[in-house]
Chain A
Amino acid sequence: MSITASDAAPHAHLHALYRDHNSWLRGWLRHRLSNSADAADLAQDTFVRVLLARSSGTLQEPRRYLATIARGLVIDLYRRRSLEQAYLDALMARPELHAPSAETRALILDSLLAIDRMLDGLGARTRQIFLAVQLDGLSYEKAADRCGVSVSTVRKHLARGLMHCLLLEEA
């Protein structure tokens, strides 16, 4: 009996959380997304995150907690949309490239999303140089040309970008 009880507790909490705050959260999101389908999706995702993150216990400030998670998801959604658009634009600009299938596209978007997140917090110059060398595969000289800087600046910023990514994995 005791096993059943402690096992059921977190779900009971989640159930209560959902019952008490779901419609509030949807309203909160709808207010920010001006699209009720997105809002409903993200509200569901928020509760999934809560389910995955918490094993038990009651929340002190449930709405604040939910809003924090939801805000992160809104940023992610926005990030994904902007990447998707930029990627489609880039594909359109290069008609010679074979258009990838929807499935491949989704995988590519995932990897772009992960990289984009990883590069958060880099300065604009470092980011530009890092992308030129590491993703566009330019030589230091070409990257220096494109970015209008010296080769030694390219080296410096490349090192900075790499270090940033490596330390990020550590955290």
Chain B
Amino acid sequence: MKRTLAQAVDWYVRLHDSAVSDTTRREWQAWLAADPQHAQAWQRIEQLQQRLGQAPAGLAGTTLEQARQQRRAAVKMLAMLLGVGVVGWRGYQVSPWGADYSTRVGQRRHFTLADGSRLVLDTDSRADVQFDGTQRLIVLHQGEILVETAKDTRPLSVQTAEGRVLALGTRFTVRQGAGISRVTVEAHAVEVQPRLAIGQTLRAEAGQAVSFTADTAGPLLPAVAQGSAWTQGMLVVVDWRLEDVVAELSRYRHGYLGCAPEVAGLRLSGTFLLDDSEGVLANLEDSLPVRLRRLTRYWVRVEGRAA
């Protein structure tokens, strides 16, 4: 039946054309008469047309598009579903040149740099900013930052233990991991230069993410949606393993937060409020077959319910 439906759709698309010929119409009639299943399939198309026709002419398309766009602020919707509000943009702080920037566990800070670029530090992060007459350099020692570059004649780059990321008029995040750095590009592009791979650069475009070690970069991967949601205090995940969500949440808390192997592979999607990890954990208990085992405030493990 699916094949017949596809044929019917094909006929509809041809007949609906303003330039449809009489020959096409005759051929369609012959097809229609050839098999009762053809007629049935065609009837389905007509029923669909009737249903679509109940919507107000001229307004329906716009209305549906508008509504969809509203909802495409999907972050908001997910946030609502999981019972968290949307966190407003934090206040900026203007900092002097050459200062050290750092955050404590669970903290996030927004800065505007001397050239107007924006720097956001995620939890437990540390960075130095070194601007001079020829270059703008941000040295990331630990954690994750988001950089939004302002226009300037001097190039801007971020240096990690593994190499450099050169900004090409852009917004991107860099995370310093253990022996590995990760870049996610949100706008325009960056060039990644591993420290030991002299002369080799890799260009990552908006929507791409790339990890690199001291001697090699790549492969380019599609960026995780909402990779910079943390700048607004949220973690947005789509079809992640529970283990990974828990690991990510644990970066924002003191003490141990872990996940038992029997539930590590459970999948989930949602928006989590990073500042309220207790609430997020309670939510997990609501929506997944898991329970929390607490020894102290600083030792929490997500386990299977039967355990």
- On A, residues with C-beta under 8 Å from B are 28, 31-34, 63-64, 67, 71, 74-75, 78-79, 82-83, 85-87, 89-91, 94, 97, 100, 108, 111-112, 114-116, 119, 127-128, 131-137, 139-141, 155, 158-159, 162-163, 165-167, 169-170
CA–CA, A155 and B66, complex, Å:
23
Partner of B13 from the list A78, A115, A158 (CB cut-off 8 Å) is: A158
Whether B80 pairs with A136 at a CB distance below 8 angstroms is no
CA–CA, A111 and B54, complex, Å:
6
Whether B67 pairs with A135 at a CB distance below 8 angstroms is no
Whether A169 pairs with B63 at a CB distance below 8 angstroms is no
Whether A166 pairs with B45 at a CB distance below 8 angstroms is yes
A91-B59, A162-B48 given; A131·B81 CB < 8 A? no
CA–CA, A108 and B64, complex, Å:
12
In the complex, whether B286 has a CB less than 8 A from a CB of chain A is: yes
CA–CA, A32 and B286, complex, Å:
13
Whether B60 pairs with A112 at a CB distance below 8 angstroms is yes
CA–CA, A97 and B61, complex, Å:
16
Min CB distance A84 to B, Å, is 8
A32-B80, A162-B45 given; A133·B71 CB < 8 A? no
Whether A71 pairs with B81 at a CB distance below 8 angstroms is yes
Residues of B within 8 A of A136 (CB): 58, 60-62
Chain A to chain B contacts (Cβ below 8 Å), 7 pairs? A86-B70, A90-B63, A90-B66, A111-B51, A131-B65, A137-B58, A141-B18
CA–CA, A22 and B45, complex, Å:
43
Q: Could you tell me how many residues of chain B have their Cβ less than 8 Å away from some Cβ of chain A?
A: 42
In the complex, whether B16 has a CB less than 8 A from a CB of chain A is: yes
Min CB distance A79 to B, Å, is 7
Residues of A within 8 A of B49 (CB): 134
CA–CA, A13 and B49, complex, Å:
43
CA–CA, A158 and B52, complex, Å:
14
CA–CA, A119 and B48, complex, Å:
12
Residue of chain B at shortest CB distance from A100: B56
A75-B81, A83-B64, A136-B60 given; A159·B10 CB < 8 A? yes
CA–CA, A74 and B70, complex, Å:
16
Residues of A within 8 A of B81 (CB): 32, 71, 74-75
Whether A87 pairs with B63 at a CB distance below 8 angstroms is yes
Residue of chain B at shortest CB distance from A30: B83
Residue of chain B at shortest CB distance from A139: B18
Residue of chain B at shortest CB distance from A32: B83
Whether B9 pairs with A162 at a CB distance below 8 angstroms is yes
A79-B71, A108-B56, A140-B17 given; A86·B82 CB < 8 A? no
Whether B60 pairs with A115 at a CB distance below 8 angstroms is yes
Residues of A within 8 A of B85 (CB): 34
CB within 8 Å of A: which B1-39 residues: 1-2, 5-6, 9-10, 12-13, 16-18
Min CB distance A99 to B, Å, is 12
Q: Which 5 A-B pairs have the closest CB atoms?
A: A86-B66, A136-B61, A86-B67, A131-B61, A135-B61
Partner of B5 from the list A28, A64, A78, A166 (CB cut-off 8 Å) is: A166
Residues of B within 8 A of A86 (CB): 62-64, 66-67, 70
